[in-house]
Every structure is written in structure tokens, then in C-alpha cells.
């Protein structure tokens, strides 16, 4: 008589390697500080601001994932959330951290897993991967452009590539505007199910569709928004945070 499975071998309370392991950015160097990053180069610099980019033990422009405080927040997105061309303390994740800390009179850490050029696909995948081992109290996402998607890297096997609809570096015959619209809606649904809705904040209209937040000054690279934009985004999320947390 053949053996027949009668119950799940992996029970839901078991902690697997997938549940416990964190991942590296594979884009930025772990435990290192650099003077220039991505589009923020000496050639593009529009000012002589003293900006450094420090990466944590997993290669993210973030506090250490071991830095756990009274309140721990997770942020995700693309270069706008990395804060290219802006000092780390002036990026929206860190301004938001200070706003929440002052409001609650508690210590706050911010774990920022944003990567430049990332897609909505990356946001969902990376949030899903990290939400269990880190267990943040709150999560905030500023969505990358809807025109980006994730696919196989044409030059490196077993690696994913963040691409744009107009990028012809690899075959993507199935990708068009309709596909990206449907994919983004799917990502919204997925991310909404990953985290307790009370603890999750995402911004769709401002970041993806209407871009209502005014950019009155650019960052040092002349391409990304400057400090005032980051403050506006931080206050936008802080308003949503207070609305839910203070109930």
C-alpha cells in the first residue's frame, strides 16, 4: 500500500529558513559608505552639498536591521525612497521617523529596503520576504512608476532585472500597457493582504498617478526631488499614520 499524506508536513507554526532569513540588496555594498550613487555623480552634481550614502549590513541605505526600538517602521520604494541626491536624515523615511518619534514620545527605527530603479513587483516581493523576520510595527510604501516591471536578467542567470516598458534588452512580448495596469492592480491586492491593514500605509495617487506633491527644488543630481519634496511626503504619510494610530 502506498503512503498517503494526510496532513501538512510543514505546519504553519514552524519557522523555516525562508521565514527567518533576510536578503541582501545585491545592488549596494554592505557596511560601506560612498560619496556618489546612481545618477548622483560629480558630473551631474548641481551643488557642493556634502552627501554620503551609508549602507547597512545587507546593503540598504538604512539603519541596521538589528536596531530595534519602541516602534519599528519599514519603508519601501525606488530611488525616491532611497533618497538619491539628498542627505539620509532629510529623506522622507527619516523625516517620518522623527515625526512619529516626537508624536508618540518613543524611540523609532526605520528599515528602508528601497532600491533605485525598482518596480512595483520588487516592492511586493521584497516586502513579502522581509515582513516576517523583521516584524515591523508599521510599513510605508511609496510606489515606483507603474511602467516598471521585474523579469529575468539577460546577462546573469538566476538574477532578476528591473526594467521599463521601453527597454529592449530582453524579450518581453507579453508586456504592454494593459499588462502593466493589470500587474499593478495585482500588486496592490497582494501587498494589501501581506500586512495587517491597520499597520500598512501605501500611496498610489500621489506617487503613481497624479504626482500631486510639488517639486520646487531638485536634489544634488538635478534629476530627483529635493528635501522639500521629501518633507511633504513624510508629512503626508504622518497624517495617515495619526489618523489610524490615534483612533
Confidence of residue 210 (pLDDT cuts 50, 70, 90): very low
Percent helix / strand / coil, the chain, rounded to 5: 35, 15, 50
**Structural domain boundaries in the chain:** 29-245
| Residue-wise pLDDT tens digits, 81-111 | 999 999 999 999 999 999 999 999 999 999 9
Whether the pTM exceeds 0.95: the reply is no
Structure confidence at residue 97 (pLDDT): 97
- pLDDT tens digit string along 181-191? 888 888 888 88
CB count, 10 Å around CB of 211? 11
Choose the CATH number for 29-245 among 3.40.50.1110, 3.40.1390.20, 1.10.10.10, 2.130.10.10.
3.40.50.1110
Q: Distance between CA 118 and CA 140 in Å, rounded?
A: 16
Amino acid at each position: 500500500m502506498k503512503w498517503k499524506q494526510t496532513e501538512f508536513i510543514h505546519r504553519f507554526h514552524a519557522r523555516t529558513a525562508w521565514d527567518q532569513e533576510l536578503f541582501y540588496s545585491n545592488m549596494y555594498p554592505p557596511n560601506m559608505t560612498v560619496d556618489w550613487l546612481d545618477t548622483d555623480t560629480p558630473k551631474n552634481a548641481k551643488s557642493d552639498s556634502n552627501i554620503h550614502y551609508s549602507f547597512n549590513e545587507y546593503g540598504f541605505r538604512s539603519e541596521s536591521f538589528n536596531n530595534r526600538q519602541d516602534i519599528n517602521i519599514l519603508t519601501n520604494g525606488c530611488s525616491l525612497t532611497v533618497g538619491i541626491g539628498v542627505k539620509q536624515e532629510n529623506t522622507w523615511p527619516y523625516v517620518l521617523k522623527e515625526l512619529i518619534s516626537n508624536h508618540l514620545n518613543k524611540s523609532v527605527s526605520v528599515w528602508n529596503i528601497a532600491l533605485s530603479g525598482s518596480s512595483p513587483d520588487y516592492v511586493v516581493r521584497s516586502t513579502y520576504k522581509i515582513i516576517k523576520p523583521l516584524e515591523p510595527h508599521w510599513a510605508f510604501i511609496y510606489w515606483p512608476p507603474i511602467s516598471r516591471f521585474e523579469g529575468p536578467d539577460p546577462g546573469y542567470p538566476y538574477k532578476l532585472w528591473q526594467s521599463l516598458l521601453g527597454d529592449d534588452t530582453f524579450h518581453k512580448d507579453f508586456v504592454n500597457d494593459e499588462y502593466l495596469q493589470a500587474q499593478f492592480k495585482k500588486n496592490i491586492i497582494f501587498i494589501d493582504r501581506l500586512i495587517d491593514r491597520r499597520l500598512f500605509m501605501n500611496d498610489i495617487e500621489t506617487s503613481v498617478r497624479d504626482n500631486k506633491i510639488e517639486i520646487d527644488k531638485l536634489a544634488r543630481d538635478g534629476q530627483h526631488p529635493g528635501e522639500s519634496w521629501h518633507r511633504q511626503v513624510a508629512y503626508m504619510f504622518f497624517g495617515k499614520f495619526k489618523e489610524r494610530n490615534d483612533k
